[in-house]
Amino acid sequence: MANNFKTFLKHAAKDYYNQSVNPPVVRASTIIFKSMNELRKTQFKGKKDPTGGHFEYGRQGTSTTFSLQQMLKKMEECYHVFLTPTGFGSVFLSIFSVVRPGDEIIAADPVYSPTRLLTQDFLKSFNIKTIFYNPHDLSTLKKAISNKTKLIYVENPGSNTFDFQDLSKIISIAKKSKIFTAIDNTWGTPYYLKPIKLGFDMSIVSATKYYSGHSDVMGGSLAVNKKVFKYVEQANKITGLRLGPDDAYLIIRGLRTLDVRLDRHQENAKKVANFLSKHKKVKLLYPHRKGSFNYKMWKKYYSGASGLMGLKVKSRNRKSILKFVNSLKLFGYGYSWGGFESLALHQEYREVGDRNFLKLERDEHLVRLHIGLEDPNDLIQDLKKSLKFIK
């Protein structure tokens, strides 16, 4: 990247042709040409350079989506970026691109629960087997490898339990056996971690979260290296996954302030984490304790931390946990995260997923917090009042 990340976000995707700071929204199903000769030339250019934004039909995108792709490509420092209508669309595309009947997937145990349903249950009927490994014991990953293993799928940190893994070791294991790798990097985004540069073949980000930043857009991105590009390009054409230009425009607009927002999310989260770490009934699932394995693995790979964290709360009274969550006044209750507002969720078992390596005692409960852009002192006071209900 030619400029500092922060400077790049402010200057990328400008449109000097239309003299607009942000690219215009171009909506199209039919891409119109002046002649058949011009159409054929565009098709030829597209075959010669499939990353170059040579559109012959609206399903391939428009100049608006191409602007976003180019912006993300430089942010990710990758070969190409594919756009999908949702973050989970990018999860699906990464897996569908490289896995076929008879293959096996090895996935991190704490993956997003819909990812687990896709791999463990849905793909089973297609004769695709998924084995889960312990994120803190990579010998379980090594033991799971067979001549059928096609993909190692990582989510870092782990969904809801925030397990940080030794990413370089995972990449090394995969390369020795010539296995494709994919990582869900939504928590860190390429602002804090660049997976393709690290050695992953595919990197997923739910653009619904921090890219958008305003809780009003759905979208996903899949960054790839050159080795895996042809597989993903073919799968993308077949599935017809497409991000609309209006959503692409809003994501570009959100990206302008990604650095400013993430810096503040991190600053606020650190203050809240410092407060929560002192509560005797709360175990904080966030990279704050310097002696911990999670902290070491976070520090080794990330340049910062986002605003999403988990709490493991100890109580024999489940109702008191619900009362703690429900009494919060400055935290909304809803799915997703990454917007400007703080959110809280009591995690039901189905939301965590049927895991192999998660051991929760009967008196342990998971709560997820997204620390937004409010005054952190207000959030701390809100939590302080509500924590009193835990018995």
Q: Tell me, what's the pLDDT at 72? A: 98
Helix (H) or strand (E) holding 105, with range, is strand 104-108
For position 331, what pLDDT does the model report?
A: 98
pLDDT < 70 positions in the chain: 1-3, 350
- Indicate the SS3 state at residue 205: strand
What is the model's pLDDT at position 259? 97
What is the per-residue pLDDT for 288? Answer: 85
pLDDT at 158: 97
**Among 98, 99, 68, which Cα is nearest to 82's?**
68
d(Cα 321, Cα 257) in Å, to the nearest integer?
Answer: 35
Which of 366, 358, 354 minimizes the C-alpha distance to 114?
354
Q: What is the pLDDT of residue 362?
A: 84
DSSP 122: I
CA-to-CA distance for 51 and 97, rounded, in angstroms? 17
Within the chain, how many helices (H) and strands (E) appear?
16, 11
Q: Report which of 168, 137, 166, 173 is spatially closest to residue 152, judged by C-alpha positions.
A: 173
Is the torsion defined by CA of 74, 80, 85, 88 positive or negative?
Answer: negative
Q: Whole-angstrom Cα distance, residue 270 to residue 341?
A: 16
- Structure confidence at residue 352 (pLDDT): 77
What's the pLDDT score for residue 351? 72
pTM of the shown model: 0.95
Task: State the pLDDT at residue 375.
Answer: 98
Residues 6+ apart with CB under 8 A from 210: 186, 189, 191, 258, 261, 262, 265, 306, 338
Three-state SS at 185: coil
Domains and CATH numbers, the chain: 258-387 (3.90.1150.10)
